[in-house]
Amino acid sequence: MKPWQRDTITSILAVIVFAVLTGLLYPLAITGISQVAFPGDANGQQIHLDGKLIGSKLIGQSFASPVLGKNGKPEEKEGELVTEPDPRYFQSRPSATEGGAYNAAASTFSNHGPNSVKTREADEENIKAYLELNKNPATKAEYDPGLTVARIPVDAANSSASGLDPEISKANAWIQAYRIAAVRHLPLASVDSLIARYTSGRGLGFSGEEGVNVLELNLALDRVTAGTS
């Protein structure tokens, strides 16, 4: 047999062997062990409420409600549901996923360039929406008396990388706390203490930034309002 023929046979056999080892046994073993040892983590840290699946702790959500049209059905525009943020809940970061915000079946970057007019316009739109949301519709005054454009934390105006960021910054949460406290008739201090409870610390004490898990915080708010905790 010539060397290249021997190499060809060996290559074919080696690809099959390695495919079985690294492409079947390895992922099956990792998945199997994880399902037994860390079932909650391996299945996406699902959160259930009254027996129904309402989200994953790790995957951000939009806390907006569908807008009902004249016929009483949810309104749609260009195939996407029309929604408006629910002032009773903390709102997540802007998300640029296709097919509506927080589409966890198709994560996407916004891919907004640093020197792009489109980026500026997107930021301005997010700033406007944020100010609008944190303003008392009756009195036209900001819930947080010190709120100005310059005080809006960057994470509240910039879209996240995955479009599924489950967290917001503490500064962002503190501003929204004024609105939540007013709308839900809760003392500001108790909302702030909930924020502190659902803030994740830095990894190993230094890695990354602190962030507030929006879904967990909102669920806790509902429990407080319902008087069950």
Binding mask 50-79 for other proteins (x = CB under 8 A): --xxxxx-xxxxxxxxx-------------
Q: How far is CA 221 from CA 23, 115, 210, in A?
A: 45, 39, 20
Give the whole-angstrom CA distance, residue 30 versus residue 11: 27
Q: For the window 10-29, what string marks contact with other proteins as x by the rule CB under 8 A? A: xxxxxx-xxx-xxxx-xx-x
Is residue 181 part of the contact set for other proteins (CB under 8 A)?
no
CB atoms within 10 A of CB 215: 23
Please identify, among the stretches 138-146, 162-170, 180-188, the one whose residues bind other proteins according to the rule CB under 8 A. 162-170
Q: Does 129 bind other proteins (CB under 8 A)?
A: no
- 50 CB-contact burial (10 Å; exposed 0-12 / middle 13-18 / buried 19+): exposed
**Min dist. Cβ of residue 172 to other proteins (A):** 7
Q: Is 120 in the site for other proteins (CB under 8 A)?
A: yes
Nearest to 178 by CA among 125, 131, 126, 124: 131
Window 74 to 93, contacts with other proteins (CB under 8 A): 81, 83, 86, 89, 93
192 counts as binding other proteins under rule CB under 8 A: no
Asked if 157 touches other proteins (CB under 8 A), the answer is: yes
Which runs of E-coded beta strand occur in 9-140?
Answer: 46-49, 52-56, 64-66, 76-77, 80-81, 83-85
5/139 with CB nearer other proteins: 5
Stretch near other proteins under the rule CB under 8 A, chosen from 133-141, 176-184, 203-211: 203-211
Task: Select from 171, 182, 188, 220 the one that contacts other proteins (CB under 8 A).
Answer: 171
Q: Which is nearer to other proteins, 139 or 224 (CB)?
A: 224
The helix (run of H) or strand (run of E) holding residue 172 is helix 170-184
CB–CB of 162/66 below 8 Å? no
Query: What's the CA gap between 136 and 143, in Å, rounded?
Result: 6
